[in-house]
Amino acid sequence: MTSKEFAEIIGVSQSTISRALNNSSQISAERREFIQKKAEEYGFVLNSQARSLKTNRTGTVGILFPKHFIGMSSNLGLAHLYDLVQAELSKYDYDVMVVYDGEKQNGLSTFERMIKIGKVDGFIIFRMESSKKDLELIKKYKVPCVYLLHAEKAGSYGSCLSDCEYSGYLIGKLFGKYKEYKSIYINVKTSAESKTRLAGFKRGLKERGVVMDKNAVWQSELSVKSAYECVINNQETVKSRKCAILAFNDTVALGALNACRDLGVKVPEDVQISGVGGLPIIAEIAPDLTTVNVFHERIASMGCEMLRSAIIHGAQEPIHTVIRPELILRGTTLR
């Protein structure tokens, strides 16, 4: 059904239809509500191209994933955050376009191409940091952007972040109570925030009078499989003495837990394990996994509202919000 046909059915002009469905203040709230209800009744949706012409907006938001992103099946934390962001944006009638930025067309990255052709109204950025070139593009084309979860330099753009260092600190304070346990950190080199989390872990341990051994930082990729292999490769340590393992995130912690199970190591009696993130799935396994909740839901909600406001109202003084995570004790650590 065209807008002309719909307008004839309910007895108004095409321009009135367009104004009502674009929430224009040029018509009364009562008339706007009437037309919107009729549109729902008839299943009429304003053509996206027509909407774009009227509002100078696309109705689409780009989500820029980190360069280390592997895939939804491996990056469970980002997959969870993506689902939450998509749900939030749908409340505002925004479509989502995912940008992995791995390929180039005509020498342009996906991110650069989307900005230059005006493909989206704004970006949600999951990256820890953006390149100088990306920041120059954002500034030149005045694209609204909001950083979510982790960022080193959000600068003049809004951000809603988790306190990455503090998440490590909480587990350091917890494990530091058990001095008979060797404290271990499973690091993910490709993730920029992993180094920050490790610093917090060391700080928490130090406050308990514990100093990490030089060989206590194990290396893994960001996947359950890689974390599993990491612990298997260090099985001599987990079999010979008690250990307390902080994994970079919940995904890595799941791999460590699977390895301990296959090695016949008792959790949490012989090996304590904690992740970071607060993914819903880790509360359903046995034993349920201790974690640090970074409040993905709150971050998604606040971040999407920030971006929506920037799209509607234009350049504003950026808001930088840092949410302190919270320790959730479960079955993989001592109480």
Q: Mean pLDDT in the chain?
A: 88
Angle at 92 between CA 123 and CA 297, to 5 degrees: 70
Where in the chain do CATH 3.40.50.2300 domains reside?
Answer: 60-163+296-324, 164-294
Reported as a pLDDT band with limits 50, 70 and 90, residue 106 is low
Spatial distance between the Cα atoms of 127 and 216, rounded to a whole number of angstroms: 27
Q: Which CATH number fits domain 60-163+296-324: 3.40.190.80, 3.40.50.2300, 3.10.580.10, 3.40.1360.10?
A: 3.40.50.2300
Q: Give the pLDDT score at 80.
A: 94
Reported as a pLDDT band with limits 50, 70 and 90, residue 58 is confident
Please provide residue 25's backbone torsions phi and psi, each rounded to the nearest 5 degrees. -85, 0
Where in the chain do CATH 1.10.260 domains reside?
Answer: 3-54
User: Could you read off the pLDDT of 179-237 as tens digits, one per residue?
Assistant: 999 999 999 987 778 999 999 999 999 999 999 998 999 999 989 999 999 999 999 99
Percent of the chain surpassing pLDDT 90: 57
Q: Is the pTM of this model over 0.85?
A: no
The DSSP element (H or E) to which 25 belongs, if any, is none
* Superfamily designation of domain 164-294: Response regulator (3.40.50.2300)
In CATH, 3-54 is 1.10.540: no
User: Could you read off the pLDDT of 307-318 as tens digits, one per residue?
Assistant: 999 998 887 788
The mean-pLDDT minimum among 134-143, 205-214, 261-270 falls in: 134-143
Q: Who contacts 210 (Cβ-Cβ below 8 Å, separation ≥6)?
A: 175, 176, 179, 183
User: Could you read off the pLDDT of 62-92 as tens digits, one per residue?
Assistant: 998 876 666 676 778 889 999 999 999 999 8
Instruction: Flag whether pLDDT at 54 surpasses 70.
Output: no
Q: Give the pLDDT score at 49.
A: 45
